[in-house]
Amino acid sequence: MFNLIPFAAILIALAVIIVIVARKFPLLASLNVETIQAEREARFKERIISNRLKRAAAKWKTRWGKAWRPLFNLSAAAVKKAYERLREYNQQSLSGGRSGLADNDDAVSFLNEALEFSRQENYSAAEKKCIAAIGLEPKNYDAFRQLGKIYLAENNFSDAVQAFEHILKLQDEAQAAGAPEADGGLERSLILFDLSAAERGAGNLPAALSAANKALRLEPNNPRYLDTVIELCIITKDKFGAREALEKLATVNPENSKIGEFKKQIEQIP
């Protein structure tokens, strides 16, 4: 009878893991709706969900302590095996001799659908379409930018920050490999401006100001960027930065209705 106790404990632990996997893996499977090819190194959403799984497993491991460690090691192996099977299934079902041109066409189609879903405020469907496009083109800037904007619309600022930072990372890698900077840096300035909005939403005001200033350096006469830099400087009590940006704004957009109010707010900064 005594020997049955450890066996029963193992069964209970495995049952818990099965429940966790049953709940979490439909999310992974949903990422492949209609398309996502197996294992692409820059698959953004897979990384997010993987992190969530790791956090969930860590909570269980901490709760039960050392006595349950062997069971969790066994469970981790079971999760890994199930995940590998899921990837193999996706690889088999989605490999079909696609050409690069076909992938590109499909990615554009997915992004158009994502844009339409976003207009309808169906962000869950839009997110899936963006991820499908990323599965086909892991370095598609537009796909990641749309995904980031979806997260912004949902006030999911943490994931939005990750999406925009990932684009900047891809751009840095491309530049390091000798690729020319697109649009003279204008595209990068847009991503930095989006990143600033995400950081601001997340309450990371210094990071938001840093991103906005970087965007402004690429487009020094952009009124929107100047406007945002002034606002963030006022909020962060950066009087010198606010004055400098306001002088520039008054030069490039003297009819801006906010100039007078900005002056008052700047003078109130200690």
Domain ranges of the chain: 4-94, 104-194
Q: Tell me the average pLDDT across 203-207.
A: 96
Confidence of residue 260 (pLDDT cuts 50, 70, 90): very high
Q: What is the per-residue pLDDT for 23?
A: 56
Q: What is the per-residue pLDDT for 64?
A: 47
Q: What is the per-residue pLDDT for 32?
A: 45
pLDDT tens digits, 8-50: 566 666 666 665 655 555 544 444 434 444 444 445 555 555 5
Contact 175, 153 (CB under 8 A): no
Q: Running DSSP on this structure, what letter comes out for residue 204?
A: -
Closest alpha carbon to 106 in 126, 149, 135: 135
- For residues 172-196, one letter each, b for 16 or more C-beta atoms within 10 angstroms of the residue's C-beta and e for the rest, the string is eeeeeeeeeeeeeeebbbbbbbbbb
Contacts of 186 (CB under 8 A, 6+ apart): 218, 219
What is the phi/psi pair of residue 44, to 5°? -70, -50
Output the six-digit token pair for 45: 């959403």
Q: What is the per-residue pLDDT for 138?
A: 86
| Average pLDDT taken over every residue of the chain | 75
pLDDT tens digits, 6-17: 655 666 666 666
Whether the predicted pLDDT of 153 surpasses 60: yes
Output the six-digit token pair for 267: 């003078």
**pLDDT top residue among 211 and 59:** 211
pLDDT tens digits, 55-114: 555 554 555 444 445 444 444 554 455 445 545 544 444 444 444 445 566 888 999 999
Burial of 201 (0-12, 13-18, 19+ CB in 10 A): middle
Closest alpha carbon to 126 in 153, 91, 164, 90: 153
Q: What is the per-residue pLDDT for 12?
A: 67
Q: What is the per-residue pLDDT for 177?
A: 81
Share of the chain above pLDDT 90, in %: 46
Distance from the first to the final alpha carbon of the chain: 76
pTM for the full model? Answer: 0.64
Architecture of domain 104-194: Alpha Horseshoe (1.25)
